[in-house]
Structure 1
């Protein structure tokens, strides 16, 4: 029996994807996304439902002064739904003019935030065809202008496609530019992972996937170069399953599209999937709201001066606006769009190049607007004060990390993020196998990236953003990478013996487990006299009959069979000396910070001890 994709059926029948999913929910049909397929008999049921709705009458939109009176509905934002014959009959009964037959859907009177164009980042291994794919989409030859055909900087481009405007961020795939690529993923709504059909997964491919997962953006895999004779798309799909990424045709939810940047095969399908994913994500931004954006790239031009490429995320940017980035500010003197044309304003999901900053802003920094120069200076001064306060506080607690800093907030299930580097693929697989057996019910081990060779700066950046630990087996980090790790506060730990590495993982797991404590009995003492003290209150002159008593231990005072007090031993004395502990058979003075202690009372001491967890 033939099958059809949900979004294709919606398009053929002229209904919205959301409407199609609503019908499927009503029928109890399971699906993963609008790109899932459904059976032919389900298609017939959907057609019958839509036909029945059409016969029952389409929603009519009428002017407020000509709409016949009707009972109030649950949705006040919509006009009363009537068919044209019903409206005409009602008008005849009330003496009003007949309402014209209208088939447009009712329009909500509530102000809604409009949709915005999706921002898409292209990531993957070097030479897998990322820039060539963009070239085909926007019909320009960017690669020809760059050294060796490898993208050397982050560029943002608007593409007018058959599915509307899509903003593409072209991020470098070479390992040397991992830092820039990570910033590209952070500002994007959708990540396209380009994988060559004749090459499959490569080290930078795995890094790109890890960065996209860390940024928590939807992923679409584009298998490029399917036009080559040696292309093997099925091998790529199989390799993806090893990373727990299961394509839709294998029963998973990962969208995989075979494409050719050379012939254009599958490119329209890719754009369709981008449009569908954006629709599902329901991307919206208020062009009239407060401006916010992100710096994509900053550079110094010999003629123009400091130029910054900014992605507008909220609000609208105008020439002459004052912008604040970090502890710097500037006034927009000129703006150009992705085609190099001068523009006066830019709305959400628009990349613009701005002239007006005195210093080059760093990629990935947030941008906000200010009403005037005075307000911009105040924001900058406030940020400088906050930074200095944070630096002072950091200096004061340098080398001292709290339990919260080390473990994070206590919760039901916590995750230990790891980046694994080893000398051989066999070592990587062996260690991963051992780690998989180390997981506990309340602690999950997440190996974000596992590869062969020494850790890179890209690994450090990923570990920094994901709060991960880098574990190395039989490989060591270079001095430059260690320096970056120290700056970012990332732990890189190298091991030559596999059992030592596993012990370190055990320590990390234990550190992420909620500690379990139990009350452990210490000893007891009998109160033989009560000493009145003008400052400390009543002191219980006691004789230790069993075990020992410790200062700061928990204390329980019993009188007969009744517990009359529970608290803490705040003071312990032997004659005039303060002591920390008193053993069996010795006399002592006990201060439990309670003045009603009496002769004959029994003071029992205990302490909370952490239980070793297996």
Structure 2
């Protein structure tokens, strides 16, 4: 029995993937994701259901209804899509697309409109379309046209293009893959494809844009995350089919997972004779990335960056993942975004490539970054052309900054240059003060005190070893030490020296680095000292386990035990001016200590529990009074005691717990 994927059926029916998944759920069909396959019989049932639900809106019926009505006038934006027009005229998207097909116009739901599309729809539904004037004030939500149809202007959240980072092991084809994608789009430039990278590449696929960050490697990816910035929506993990899983592949996966970014795997070099894509899938499954065709939820596409095989499907999968993530932004709010690349150009001065994440950035805006500011005197798009504005997910090169910022810095809009100067001066002062104090990070010895303050729920470790076998054995032993109360989170494990990228990942995740028979290089050591990252070096596995065990035991909530000290009887109550009431007591057993906790018991019932504020033997202060002696006692915040009350003194003892 043949099968079809959910996303393919959704595309055929003009439905969104989420709508189709919801329909399948209503029909009792179990599917995991839009990549799941269903039988053609189920697909036919879905198609019939869609036709049944939308039958009243067929083109013929719609034509018959509109024949007797006055021709309606609907205003649309020049940049609207077929889907948006369908919403405006209150016709299902699938039927709108089919109407265009009947008119011999192939225009999927996401296609931008043109006069031919509007003419065909106007004839089919007896509607006259008019373009809105550029710059005209948007109508308020809820207002309707004379024909009675709603205008959707109230919600400014709009879909935005996905931002993609390509990651993977050295020589697995990351750069070749990007180069092929760029070359394909350059050759199709007249048809709308583009690419002239400025730290980011903009690619067109089926009328939709994808932004590829050109910053290579996971080091920069994590450096941005360490600054609290997140510019990536989807990560493409490139794995060579003839090489398989390698150390940097694992590292890239850990970096993407730590950032919470969905992964699409590109199994590259399938054109080579030694290619074994199924072996790659098995290796990735073993570390938690199970292919969707094997029942998992990770999309994997076989590609050849050399021949271009599978590249269109890869781009389609990226767009599908982006659709499921429902990436949206508001182009009308105050602009903000992130720096992805910066340099000092001899002719242009400080130049930064930024990606706008919210709002719309205009030439002439004054922006404030973490370390600098500037008034934008020019903006260049990915083709090197000057532009006057840039909306969400748009990469642009900005000129006019006072100095060169660092990748990962965020920018916001400010009203005037004075505000920008003042805030920059304050930040520089704070930075100078911070540099006088050594940056302090978590150490194993501090875990217990931090746990008491509720700051550390688990111990984060980054493990680097000399060989893979030792690494697997050590990590397995460490992971077994976790309990239901305290856990171990190994954010990354790898083979080889401790590098700068390890320090950055540890910094971003507040982790301790465990090095077994390896050492940090000089640059990594310097960065660790600046960042305050603790590096523990070992050559005996048992030493690692013992140290981590001590740290975990320190994270366990201690047991509180009550230790009885003694009892006393209140035999007389004295009233002292300014001091209030004092209990004249006789110690009947044990010892009463000044530092003790106490209970006041009356007729067998505890009436108060607290601390002693004073303990005296006659007129002298006393640290403790033993059985058989008299004393005077003041209670902290309690004076409602009486003759005959019994005082129980006790101490609370914290006992450190141990792992079983």
Aligned positions of 1:36-47 closer than 5 A: 36-47=36-47
SS at match of 1:446: strand
Q: How does 1:333-352 map to 2 (within 5 A)?
A: 333-352=377-396
Alignment of 1:482-497 (within 5 A): 482-497=525-540
Q: Is residue 370 of structure 2 the alignment partner of residue 326 of structure 1?
A: yes
Q: Within 2, Cα distance between the matches of 1:418 and 1:201?
A: 22
Structure 1: 5+ residue stretches without partners: 69-77, 84-98, 143-152
Query: Higher mean Cα deviation, 439-448 or 334-343?
Result: 439-448
Would the aligned equivalents of 2:218 and 2:252 in 1 still touch at CA under 8 Å? no
Q: 1:266 and 1:396 mapped to 2: Cα distance?
A: 48
Identify the range of structure 1 (173-182 vs 193-202) with the bigger mean alpha-carbon deviation.
Answer: 173-182
The residue aligned with 1:406 is 450
2:158 aligned counterpart, secondary structure: coil
After the TM superposition, which of the residue ranges 596-605 and 510-519 deviates more from structure 2?
A: 510-519
Q: In the alignment, which of 589, 608, 612 is matched to residue 569 of structure 1?
A: 612
2:303 corresponds to: 259
Once residues 154 and 451 of structure 1 are traced to their aligned partners in structure 2, the CA distance between those partners, rounded to angstroms, is 33
Give the secondary-structure state (helix, strand or coil) at the position aligned to 1:572.
strand
Of 521-530 and 416-425, deviating more is 521-530
CA positional deviation for 1:424: 2.7
Alpha-carbon deviations, 1:384-411, whole Å to 9, x = none? 5665787799999999x99898239749
Q: Match for residue 130 of structure 1?
A: 174
User: Structure 1 pair 596/409, CA: closer, same or farther in 2 (3 Å)?
Assistant: closer
Match of 1:444 among 473, 487, 497: 487
Matched residue SS, 1:565? strand
Instruction: Give 1:306-321 correspondences, 5 Å limit.
Output: 306-321=350-365
Separation in structure 1 between the aligned mates of residue 601 and residue 593 of structure 2, nearest angstrom? 18
> How many angstroms apart in 2 are the aligned matches of 1:405 and 1:307?
45
- Structure 1 residue 57: deviation in Å? 3.5
C-alpha distance in 1, partners of 2:384/2:206?
22
Matched residue, 1:597: 641
Whole-Å Cα distance in 2 between the matches of residues 515 and 131 of structure 1? 53
Alignment of 1:529-568 (within 5 A): 529-568=572-611
CA distance in 2 between counterparts of 1:235 and 1:20 reads: 33
Whether 2:258 is the aligned partner of 1:214: answer yes
- Provide Cα deviations, 1:439-497, integer angstroms capped at 9, x if missing partner: 22233322111112332221111111112221223333345423322322322222333
8 Å CA contact 1:154, 1:169 repeated in 2: no
**Residue 155 (structure 2) pairs with residue 111 (structure 1):** yes
SS at match of 1:228: coil
CA distance in 2, matches of 1:166, 1:405: 47
Structure 1 232/82 Cα, relative in aligned 2: closer, same or farther at 3 Å?
closer
Do residues 284 (structure 1) and 342 (structure 2) align? no
Instruction: Output the CA distance in 1 between the equivalents of 2:447 and 2:548.
Output: 18
Map of 1:195 onto structure 2? 239
Instruction: Indicate yes or no: 2:423 matched with 1:379.
Output: yes
| 8 Å CA contact 1:172, 1:181 repeated in 2 | no
**Distance in 2 between the 1:396 and 1:456 partners?**
20
Cα distance, 1:168 vs. partner?
0.2
> SS in structure 1 opposite 2:159?
coil
Q: Which residue of 2 aligns with 1:223?
A: 267
1:5 is displaced (CA, Å) by 0.8
Residues 590 and 486 (structure 1), Cα distance of their counterparts in 2 relative to 1, 3 Å cut: farther
2:444 corresponds to 1:428: no
8 Å CA contact 1:154–1:172 kept in 2: the answer is no
State the shift of 1:111 in Å: 2.5
Q: Contact 2:460–2:509 at 8 Å: present in 1 too?
A: yes
For the Cα contact (< 8 Å) 1:121–1:185, is it kept in 2? no
Q: Aligned to 1:379, what secondary structure does the other structure show?
A: helix
Partner of 1:17: 17
The 3-state SS of whatever aligns with 1:287 is: coil
Shift, 1:22, TM fit: 2.0
Judge conservation of contact 1:123–1:171 (CA < 8 Å) in 2.
Answer: no
What is the root-mean-square deviation of aligned Cα atoms in Å?
3.8
Question: Structure 1 183/414 Cα, relative in aligned 2: closer, same or farther at 3 Å?
Answer: closer
Alignment-derived partner of residue 51 in structure 2: 51
Instruction: Answer yes or no: is the 8 Å Cα contact 1:183–1:363 preserved in 2.
Output: no
* 2:293 matched residue in structure 1: 249
Alignment of 1:85-96 (within 5 A): none
CA contact (8 A) 1:182 1:211 kept: no
Distance 1:315 1:503, change over 3 A: same
Q: CA deviation at 1:119?
A: 0.5
1:169 equivalent in alignment to 2:213: yes
Question: Alpha-carbon deviation of 1:359?
Answer: 1.0
**Residue 569 of structure 2 corresponds to residue 526 of structure 1:** yes
Structure 2 residue 179 is matched with structure 1 residue 139:
no
Q: Which residue of 2 aligns with 1:34?
A: 34
1:380 and 1:589 map into 2 onto residues whose CA distance is 62
**Shift in alpha-carbon separation, 1:474–1:395, aligned structure 2, 3 A:** closer
The aligned residue for residue 417 of structure 1 is 460
Q: Structure 1 residues 165-174 or 523-532, which shifts more?
A: 523-532
SS in 2 for 1:23: helix
Matches for 1:175-190 after TM superposition, within 5 Å: 179=223, 186-190=230-234
Whether the 8 Å CA contact 2:234–2:264 is kept in 1: the answer is yes
In structure 2, the CA distance between the partners of 1:180 and 1:414, relative to structure 1 (3 Å rule), is closer
- Greater Cα shift, 507-516 or 291-300: 507-516
Alpha-carbon spacing, 1:558–1:207, altered in 2? closer, same or farther (3 Å): same
Is the deviation greater in 536-545 or in 221-230? 536-545
User: Are 1:307 and 1:357, in contact at CA under 8 Å, matched by a contact in 2?
Assistant: yes
Closer/same/farther in 2, CA of residues 296 and 405 from structure 1, 3 Å limit: farther
Question: Out of 508, 512, 526, which is 1:465 matched to?
Answer: 508
Unaligned runs of 5+ in 2: 73-86, 93-121, 128-148, 187-196
Partner SS, residue 12 of structure 2? helix
Pair 1:15–1:597, CA change in 2 (3 A): closer
The 2-side partners of 1:313 and 1:26 are apart by: 36
1 CA distance for matches of 2:70 and 2:558?
70
Number of aligned residue pairs: give it.
Answer: 577
